[in-house]
């Protein structure tokens, strides 16, 4: 078992390998990287993070469909969106379907009519830190009329979820290291608050490295791993997502 110094050196090395633009083409972040307008990046980033589960080719293929649906102009599309009077826009990715997409478009329109998506993550009245920010965002996002089924696509850390996809979205928007992968377009949330997008890959590698004992990939497990990440780099702890995910997907560690 590696001690903390050895673990940091090993993971820092892996971060340098995987935190490069060369891996963008195979990652859901490729879709928002097609845009330069802040709102376009946010909209495609949020939806791509939401459907980022399952086969990666399928995720990217459905990302292509989303771009076409939005006419390659996401912000303009959202601001003019109205629920079709007859049939909803055909779309499905795993359990995310046309009903969910319609809700996301309507909620995003409402948000941008009142301010910005970034604004919703600035407040954390329920709890300090990124957990409170996510809870507040979720509560505000759900204010638009929706079917109960759609709520499962916005994980709730207040009920124990690791909120993998929302933590990934925040990494994309906030983290700024000039390496060309994450966007760093949100400047009012410190990188030190960002949490690992804990999933099967990162969880399994964390356990193999002795960073995680808990068997469930929930918020408690995330907090356990996060303690190691913050000790290794208190300013940019979530950079180790690149290392843990890369080890699980590419290195077959």
Distance CA 208, CA 90 (A): 42
What total of structural domains would you count in the chain?
1
Residue 206 belongs to domain spanning:
4-249
- pLDDT > 70 fraction of the chain, expressed in percent and rounded: 99
> Residue 119 — very low, low, confident or very high, per pLDDT cuts 50/70/90?
very high
Please name the residue that has the structure tokens 């709102």: 39
Encoded tokens for 83: 């629920």
Rounded to whole angstroms, the Cα distance separating 109 from 29 reads: 22
CB of 112 within 8 A of CB of 39?
yes
d(CA 106, CA 2): 49
Nearest to 13 by CA among 246, 234, 248: 246
Condensed to tens digits (0 to 9), the pLDDT of residues 201-227 reads 999 999 999 999 999 999 999 999 999
> Long-range contacts made by residues 92-98, C-beta under 8 angstroms, separation at least 24?
93/51, 93/54, 93/58, 93/59, 93/62, 94/51, 94/53, 94/54, 95/152, 95/153, 96/50, 96/51, 96/153
- Asked whether the whole model's pTM tops 0.75, one would answer yes
Q: Distance between CA atoms of 182 and 242, rounded to whole angstroms?
A: 11
Residue 83 — φ and ψ, nearest 5°? -60, 125
The string of pLDDT tens digits covering residues 167-204 is: 999 999 999 999 999 999 999 999 999 999 999 999 99
- Which of 25, 4, 13 has its CA nearest to residue 242? 13
Element (H, E) at 97: strand 96-97
Residue-wise pLDDT for 231-253, tens only, equals: 999 999 999 999 999 998 888 77
Give the residue ranges of DSSP H helices in the chain: 4-18, 38-50, 56-69, 74-79, 98-114, 129-141, 164-174, 200-208, 219-232, 240-249
Stretch 109-113: mean pLDDT, rounded? 98
> Quick one: CA torsion of 190, 234, 158, 186, rounded to 10 degrees?
20
């Amino acid at each position: 078992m590696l001690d903390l110094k050895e673990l940091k050196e090993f993971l820092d090395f892996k971060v340098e390998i995987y935190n490069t633009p060369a891996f963008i083409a195979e990652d859901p972040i490729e879709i928002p990287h097609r845009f330069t307008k802040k709102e376009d990046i946010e909209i495609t980033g949020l939806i791509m993070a939401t459907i980022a589960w399952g086969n990666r080719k399928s995720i990217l293929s459905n990302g292509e469909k989303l771009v076409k649906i939005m006419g390659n102009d996401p912000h303009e599309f959202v601001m003019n969106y109205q629920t079709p009077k007859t049939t909803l826009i055909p779309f499905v990715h795993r359990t995310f379907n046309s009903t969910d997409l319609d809700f996301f478009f309507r909620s995003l329109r409402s948000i941008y009519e009142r301010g910005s998506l970034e604004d919703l993550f600035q407040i954390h009245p329920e709890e300090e830190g990124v957990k409170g920010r996510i809870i507040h965002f979720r509560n505000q996002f759900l204010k638009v009329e929706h079917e109960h089924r759609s709520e499962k696509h916005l994980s709730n850390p207040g009920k124990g979820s690791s909120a993998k996809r929302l933590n990934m979205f925040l990494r994309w928007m906030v983290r700024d290291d000039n390496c060309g992968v994450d966007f760093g377009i949100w400047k009012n949330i410190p990188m030190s608050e960002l949490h690992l997008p804990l999933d099967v890959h990162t969880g399994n590698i964390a356990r193999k490295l002795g960073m995680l004992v808990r068997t469930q990939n929930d918020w408690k497990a995330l907090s356990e791993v996060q303690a190691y990440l913050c000790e290794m780099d208190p300013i940019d702890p979530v950079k180790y997502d690149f290392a843990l995910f890369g080890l699980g997907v590419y290195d077959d560690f």
